[in-house]
Amino acid sequence: MDIPRVQTLLAVARGDRPADMLFKNGRVVNTLSHEFEDASVAVADGVIAGLGDYEAREVIDLKGLFLAPALIDGHIHIESSLLSPAEFARAVVPRGTGAVVCDPHEIANVCGEAGIQYMLDATEGLPLDVFVMLPSCVPATHMETAGAELDAASLKPFLTHPRVLGIAEVMNFPGVVFGAEPVLDKIALGDGRPVDGHAPGVRGRWLNAYAASGIASDHESTTLEEAQEKLRRGMFVFIREGSTARNLEALLPLVTPQNSHRFAFVSDDRHADDLASEGHVNAILARAVAKGLDPLLALAMATSHTAAIFGRKDIGALAPGRRANLIAFEDLKSFRAVKVWHDGRLVAENGSLIGDVPLYHSPAVHATVNVPSLAAADFAVPASGKQANIIDIIPDQIVTNRWTASLPVSNGEWQADGTQDIAKLVVIERHGRNGNIGKGFVRGLGLKRGALASTVAHDSHNLICAGMNDSDMLFAARTLAEKGGGWVVAADGKVLAHLALPIAGLMSDQSASVVTETIEKLHRAA
Amino acid sequence: MDIPRVQTLLAVARGDRPADMLFKNGRVVNTLSHEFEDASVAVADGVIAGLGDYEAREVIDLKGLFLAPALIDGHIHIESSLLSPAEFARAVVPRGTGAVVCDPHEIANVCGEAGIQYMLDATEGLPLDVFVMLPSCVPATHMETAGAELDAASLKPFLTHPRVLGIAEVMNFPGVVFGAEPVLDKIALGDGRPVDGHAPGVRGRWLNAYAASGIASDHESTTLEEAQEKLRRGMFVFIREGSTARNLEALLPLVTPQNSHRFAFVSDDRHADDLASEGHVNAILARAVAKGLDPLLALAMATSHTAAIFGRKDIGALAPGRRANLIAFEDLKSFRAVKVWHDGRLVAENGSLIGDVPLYHSPAVHATVNVPSLAAADFAVPASGKQANIIDIIPDQIVTNRWTASLPVSNGEWQADGTQDIAKLVVIERHGRNGNIGKGFVRGLGLKRGALASTVAHDSHNLICAGMNDSDMLFAARTLAEKGGGWVVAADGKVLAHLALPIAGLMSDQSASVVTETIEKLHRAA
């Protein structure tokens, strides 16, 4: 704040000027002193001036509602919602989310610096603080071609942006543990700023090394013992409860009043449909309290503790000098936000955003599907040997098994086989870098005919296509190439369902409800 | 740490290189997970590499002692110990103190920028981290002439120093509350760094304003209610237990497991003799635990919580990547350090420092007593009216009353009067700026004859002299002017006792034991 703004704030605080707003008759959730306070809250110029009785131009009678700092998600990939940042905000703000710490890992793997810049530009002026951690793993692997390579030098210029907080989850944990210089360079870039971790299953000496490197947090623990060891070794434990990975129930017993400030809640990945049906941080709070966590501790973890972990002194608490990012809610069970304010402005009421959130358009992240001109022959897999290698999907798991099977042969080429639930799978490099096409077979998709294709394929997000015959696959892949990315289900040369994801081939430019409906259509079609 | 150092640390952590040291058979105090752990601790190059079993060049058998992070004093004026920084370190390190956050307010009021620079230079390479908060109140008042004036622009260059953490206690709370620009400029200089407060008795709307300004902490609460209000308004509460102000007993009931991370322990002012007889942070811990605080919480407050409040990620916890600033102690009652390590080096054992701490000499902070040539006539107070104004000392209080009395008159001048316990008091500007001499009378010093003089006189530290006759006063004042500052007791033209404080007229260049003995002599002589 510049000095004249501070002077105005102080004049309001000491009672020499009327406040802009006074919140009365609320139960103030004080996450710092750990208590509920019956006090009025005065706001001036979007900032909390003081608690107590004040004159104000506008009095908001909360009629006994709880008044708390807006909720914070400590780690999320917005791209995984399939929503543009604006539509993401429209989905989460009415749920009481005031800030998210995002890692634009997906879009950076497609668009490089332009992807990070897009996320910063597209989140400017939203009724939601979108803080950015700089993606540390572009590319995520050297076994596939990503759209960009970002070393420490490419990330450095972004550090001066006021909403860039630090370095995002360092996924290459063997690189950290064995001291690979490019990885350590990125950690060193943090230079006192937060550096997030990602160390699934890392324990013992490897965990010592990972923590010693300066990485401060981890959100990959799936068992109590793993999270406990990370807590003991000085890492902040981010309890993840997302659309796919859900660790709250396993990790919650670790939280005590004495150590709760070492924890944050994060969603990591949260799909549009789950945001619509379940909610966001509010849903995590509801679940945590249902599992027995003290509601005040839960609220502190989702507000002041997370703010402190990320070094933000402007949000996360209901105290003088903090921004008036506030939520009013009825009970300590559902945490359903009745009203939401951002910088003192009412931005959501009864589950709906107030006002418009214009979509930000940037050519730099459009037309990102650059594949070579494709022919059916490109997908041919010559039969060699007796058995073909098969990727075997394990239900509800991210990891897969390797397996072999006999496949029908036609024209000297192996073919998909519906009787064994085996489809052909191709990955087409779509970043215009080498046009590589990887080919193989996969078991367990449940396809009978036609093809599926997607430009969302972690972490390099190439064009991935599975199908029962080469011509449907070719059609599906060409469709996505023409439309600039998305998801498609095709059969017999026709599109059965299609979700356009024109923003980097990852995000829709449509509303959350359109995206959710289209996803349902895709599921039915598939 | 540079990359090769990190790589070495990681090699030790993952077990590919032997550690330098392994601490075995200790009860590890884990202030982050809030528990005691039976684990070995490996150290490489002064940094904790990991917990667990490791090969090491040197094994330290702790034989069941507790092993904890070294203690941190969150706010102290080193000058008040009367010791040089080196001798201060010698006094506190064997007590288990590993870091202090100091405000060189006193020396800056005498020497300005040179005083701050001296404190930074004189603390380089000590077996103690001396962090510096930049003094925000030089001068502390415009009613007296200090040695310097430091505005925001003069402080700014110091912010790049690696041990400068932020802005020290902003004592001018009316200036803050009423938005005085020079004061707000200094707060703004903090720019995300810690800004400490000093707001005795400030409550209600004024406290809202003080907190809204961005000041983050306060150490001046004397009652539970005052501290509670500051805690609620988002300020860190520093519980002060010093030589003069002792607030631990009053404030301790406010600490709960849920809010303890909002507290730190500080000593503010701690005299050499108290450091010798009572100790330092260890003594505060002992008292807190005797008053019922959970020893683990007490240790967390004196280590990790304070480190977090000041944004230091390198100290305050026993975890991989943190510096090996460690203490081993026998029990959770006295917290008496048996051994102390700094950056993995054994620096104290059984109450004594190991090795030498050379005194740092800087001409810039010597010869700071610059007074005009004095004559007895300079001290004359012409008798005018019937009664003289008297400063009335209230026992054990910092504040004084104003009072009037009839005094004996000689040569048309008022004289001191032993029968009423009234001495003459003069304050001689000693910074060579205007040579002003303020004159008056004081009741309650208990002087019978002779004179006392001192160059330690908060906050401007002019030459202050009290006495029963002008010639002894002149002699005492001249003595200090000649000797470059200190404390003196004189009578009948003779020095009865003298403590030389050649460093800025505030600090001794002698050992703590010499200073303590000399102070006793002065007390007896007075």
Residue B523 tokens, joined: 């007390």
Return the DSSP state at B510. Answer: S
Measured between alpha carbons, how far is B386 from B380 in angstroms, rounded to an integer?
A: 17
Give the pairing type, strands B437-443 and B388-393: parallel
- Please judge whether B14 and A181 are an interchain contact, meaning their C-beta atoms are less than 8 angstroms apart: no
Chosen for mutation from A36, A233, A323 (greatest number of chain B CBs closer than 10 Å) is A233
- Is the bond preceding A395 in cis, omega lying within 30 degrees of 0? no
**Contacts with A249 (C-beta within 8 Å, 6 or more apart), sequence order:** A287, A291
- Please judge whether B177 and A320 are an interchain contact, meaning their C-beta atoms are less than 8 angstroms apart: no
Residue bearing tokens 């993995």: B344
Measured between alpha carbons, how far is B472 from B396 in angstroms, rounded to an integer?
A: 27
Q: Which helix (H) or strand (E) holds B404?
A: strand B400-405
Closest by Cβ to A234, choosing from B178, B204, B317: B317
Contact between A369 and A430 (Cβ < 8 Å): yes
Cα radius of gyration (chain B) = 25
Q: In which band, very low, low, confident or very high, does the pLDDT at A6 lie, cut at 50, 70 and 90?
A: very high
Residues A102-161 pLDDT 10s: 999 999 999 999 999 999 999 999 999 999 999 999 999 888 899 999 999 999 999 999
- Please judge whether B178 and A14 are an interchain contact, meaning their C-beta atoms are less than 8 angstroms apart: yes
- Please judge whether A262 and B32 are an interchain contact, meaning their C-beta atoms are less than 8 angstroms apart: yes
CA distance A227 to chain B (A): 11
**Contacts with B143 (C-beta within 8 Å, 6 or more apart), sequence order:** none
Measured between alpha carbons, how far is B219 from B76 in angstroms, rounded to an integer?
A: 11
- Please judge whether A212 and B321 are an interchain contact, meaning their C-beta atoms are less than 8 angstroms apart: yes
Low-confidence ranges of chain B (pLDDT < 50): none
- Contact list, B48 vs chain A (CB under 8 Å): 212
Going from the C-alpha of B427 to that of each of B140, B371, B453, B479, the distances in angstroms are: 16, 11, 10, 15
Q: Residues B505, B506, B509, B512: is their CA dihedral positive or negative?
A: positive
Closest by Cβ to B208, choosing from A231, A311, A320: A320
Closest by Cβ to A179, choosing from B6, B48, B184: B6
Q: What angle do CA B233, B101, A49 make, to 5 degrees?
A: 20
- Please judge whether B51 and A232 are an interchain contact, meaning their C-beta atoms are less than 8 angstroms apart: yes
- Please judge whether A205 and B14 are an interchain contact, meaning their C-beta atoms are less than 8 angstroms apart: yes
Provide the b/e sequence for B239-271 (b: ≥16 CB within 10 Å): bbbbbebbbbebbbebbebbbbbbbbbbbbbbb
With CA atoms as reference, report the closest residue to B9 among B57, B59, B48: B48
Residues A73-95 pLDDT 10s: 999 999 999 999 999 999 999 99
- Please judge whether B313 and A14 are an interchain contact, meaning their C-beta atoms are less than 8 angstroms apart: no
Q: A402 pLDDT exceeds 80?
A: yes
Q: In which band, very low, low, confident or very high, does the pLDDT at A398 lie, cut at 50, 70 and 90?
A: low
CA distance A303 to chain B (A): 13
- Please judge whether A319 and B258 are an interchain contact, meaning their C-beta atoms are less than 8 angstroms apart: no
Q: 3-state secondary structure string, A468-498?
A: CCHHHHHHHHHHHHHHCCEEEEEECCEEEEE
Q: Residues A494, A498, A500, A506: is their CA dihedral positive or negative?
A: negative
Q: A397 pLDDT exceeds 80?
A: no
- Please judge whether A321 and B212 are an interchain contact, meaning their C-beta atoms are less than 8 angstroms apart: yes
Backbone phi and psi for residue A12, each to the nearest 5 degrees, phi listed first: -65, -45
Residues B388-415 pLDDT 10s: 999 998 876 767 888 899 999 999 999 9
Beta bridge partners of A35: A30
- Please judge whether A179 and B32 are an interchain contact, meaning their C-beta atoms are less than 8 angstroms apart: no
Q: What is the dihedral of CA A326, A327, A328, A329, to 10 degrees?
A: -160
Closest by Cβ to B212, choosing from A10, A205, A228: A10
Q: 3-state secondary structure string, A76-109?
A: ECHHHHCCCHHHHHHHHHHHCEEEEEECCHHHHH
* Side chain identity, residue B476: A
- Please judge whether A6 and B50 are an interchain contact, meaning their C-beta atoms are less than 8 angstroms apart: no
Distance of CA B476 to the CA centre of its chain: 28
What's the first-to-final CA gap in chain A, in angstroms? 53
Contact between A60 and A88 (Cβ < 8 Å): no
- Contact list, A177 vs chain B (CB under 8 Å): 10, 13-14
- Please judge whether A256 and B257 are an interchain contact, meaning their C-beta atoms are less than 8 angstroms apart: yes
Beta strands in B249-372 (DSSP E): 263-266, 326-329, 337-342, 345-349, 352-353
> ipTM, 2 decimals?
0.95
Mean pLDDT of chain A: 96
Residue bearing tokens 């990315």: A485
Residue A399 burial (CB < 10 Å; 0-12/13-18/19+)? exposed
CA distance B345 to chain A (A): 19
With CA atoms as reference, report the closest residue to B376 among B514, B474, B509, B503: B474
Looking at residue A284, what is its pLDDT? 97
With CA atoms as reference, report the closest residue to A440 among A475, A480, A400, A476: A400
Q: A334 pLDDT exceeds 90?
A: yes
- Contact list, A306 vs chain B (CB under 8 Å): none
Backbone phi and psi for residue B369, each to the nearest 5 degrees, phi listed first: -100, 95
Q: In which band, very low, low, confident or very high, does the pLDDT at A1 lie, cut at 50, 70 and 90?
A: confident
Q: A461 pLDDT exceeds 90?
A: yes
Distance of CA A169 to the CA centre of its chain: 12
Count the neighbouring beta carbons within 10 Å of the beta carbon of residue B434. Answer: 9
Closest by Cβ to B213, choosing from A48, A313, A321: A321
Residue B436 tokens, joined: 């002003």
With CA atoms as reference, report the closest residue to A265 among A273, A276, A279: A279
Percentage helix, strand, coil for chain A under 3-state DSSP, each rounded to 5: 30, 30, 40
With H, G, I as helix, E, B as strand and everything else as coil, classify residue B354. coil
Looking at residue A399, what is its pLDDT? 73
Contact between B233 and B208 (Cβ < 8 Å): yes
pTM of structure: 0.96
- Contact list, B185 vs chain A (CB under 8 Å): 3
With CA atoms as reference, report the closest residue to A351 among A436, A249, A261, A279: A279
Chosen for mutation from B258, B305, B310 (greatest number of chain A CBs closer than 10 Å) is B258
Residue bearing tokens 């907190």: B211
Residues A257-268 pLDDT 10s: 999 999 999 999
With CA atoms as reference, report the closest residue to A511 among A354, A276, A281: A276
CA distance A233 to chain B (A): 5
Q: At what angle do helices B113-122 and B85-92 cross, to 10 degrees?
A: 40
